[in-house]
Amino acid sequence: DYCFSVILPKSRFTKDEIKLENNKLKILFSTGDAEKTGLILFNAFILQKNKTFSLPNKNSMILKSITNQKQDLIVNSRAIFKTTIGSGICVREHNRENNSDKYYVFSDADFREKLNNVISNQVRQAGFSEDEINKIKVSPIQCKKVVVKHYGRYIDITTGMFEIQANNEILQYFYDQGIGSRKSAGFGMIDLITQDLL
The domain that holds 143 is classified in CATH as 3.30.70.1900
Is the pLDDT assigned to residue 7 strictly greater than 70? yes
Write the DSSP assignment of 86-132 as a string of letters.
T--B-EEEEETTTTEEEEE-TTSTTHHHHHHHHHHHHHHHTT--HHH
Output the pLDDT for position 159. Answer: 96
pTM score of the predicted model: 0.88
Residue range of the domain that includes 42: 2-62
Output the pLDDT for position 198. Answer: 58
DSSP 8-state assignment for residue 10: T
Is the pLDDT assigned to residue 170 strictly greater than 90? yes
Residue 27 domain-assigned (yes or no): yes
d(C-alpha 176, C-alpha 68), whole Å: 13
Residues 107-165: tens digit of each pLDDT? 999 999 999 999 999 999 999 999 999 999 999 999 999 998 888 889 999 999 999 99
Mean of the per-residue pLDDT values for the chain?
Answer: 91
Residues 61-93: tens digit of each pLDDT? 999 999 888 888 999 999 999 999 989 999 999
The reply to whether 107 and 27 lie within a common domain is: no
User: Quick count: other Cβ atoms within 10 Å of Cβ 141?
Assistant: 13
The reply to whether 90 and 172 lie within a common domain is: yes
Provide mean pLDDT across the span 41-45. 90
Output the pLDDT for position 155. Answer: 92
Which of 62, 88, 109 terminates a domain? The answer is: 62
d(C-alpha 5, C-alpha 17), whole Å: 19
Separation of first and last alpha carbons in the chain: 31
Provide mean pLDDT across the span 173-185. 92
